[in-house]
Amino acid sequence: MIGRFTFLSSSILAALFIVFGCNRRQKDNTHIVDGNKYTHRIGYIDPTEALLNKGFKVCDENKIYQYYNPEAATFGKGKNGLRKFITENYHNRGYTDSGYLTIRFVINCEGEAGRYVIHENDLDLNPTKLDPQMVEHLFELTSQLKKWNPNIIKGEPKDSYMFITYRIENGKIVEILP
């Protein structure tokens, strides 16, 4: 009987703590996120900081979709065409770095690419600086990829974000994602 009373008392105290604790939190608003702090989606590319943005136009600045929609944005010659172009034109000029080089960009509704940003990470995905000449070389090749197929949403071509990530080991491209 005493064990039952102790369990019941503990349960009631826990319930009261939860009710009053949650009520107190709601009153002091410590859990409310500043609605003005984040004005864009996580993948947003700021056109004022992007590379090769001059003259590049999107069709709807307020609706740039992610690349992974049912009729996703793709390179006009397909994944194999993209891989072939990069591997035939990439020349390891003594590069020895290892890591991930990600180049993010926008494909507009007309299939044109622009608004590039570059992210460099080591093989553990920590931010790092890779050989600047290697980065420039891969950026130049990536920006030469023309004729993209835009995202199609509800039968209409749309602007979308895209990325290409190069996994590099000792200066050699070992994988191209996605």
To the nearest whole number, what is the mean pLDDT of the chain? Answer: 81
More confident position, 92 or 46: 92
pLDDT beyond 70 at 160 = yes
pLDDT beyond 70 at 87 = yes
pLDDT beyond 70 at 2 = no
| The two structure tokens encoding residue 69 | 């929609």
In this prediction, residues 126-153 reach a mean pLDDT of: 94
At residue 62, the 3 state secondary structure works out as coil
Report the distance separating Cα 178 and Cα 162, nearest Å.
9
Q: What is the pLDDT of residue 15?
A: 46
Q: What is the pLDDT of residue 104?
A: 94
Report the distance separating Cα 73 and Cα 56, nearest Å.
17
pLDDT beyond 80 at 128 = yes
For the whole model, what pTM was predicted? 0.73
Report the distance separating Cα 115 and Cα 45, nearest Å.
7
Query: For the chain, what percent of residues have pLDDT higher than 70?
Result: 74
What residues contact 93, with CB distance under 8 A and at least 6 apart?
Answer: 133, 134, 137
Q: How many CB atoms lie within 10 A of CB 8?
A: 10
Query: For the chain, what percent of residues have pLDDT higher than 90?
Result: 50
Q: What is the pLDDT of residues 18-68, one digit of tens each?
A: 444 544 444 444 555 555 555 556 566 777 787 777 889 999 888 888 877
Q: How many CB atoms lie within 10 A of CB 58?
A: 20
Cα 140 to Cα 11, 36, 51, 101, distances in angstroms: 65, 36, 11, 13
Report the distance separating Cα 2 and Cα 27, nearest Å.
37
Q: What is the pLDDT of residue 17?
A: 47
Q: What is the pLDDT of residue 37?
A: 58
Q: What is the pLDDT of residue 13?
A: 44
Closest listed residue to residue 140, CA positions, set 96, 85, 67, 77? 85
Q: What is the pLDDT of residue 39?
A: 54
Report the distance separating Cα 168 and Cα 57, nearest Å.
32
Domain ranges of the chain: 1-32, 74-177
Q: What is the pLDDT of residue 5?
A: 46
Report the distance separating Cα 178 and Cα 100, nearest Å.
12
Report the distance separating Cα 178 and Cα 169, nearest Å.
17
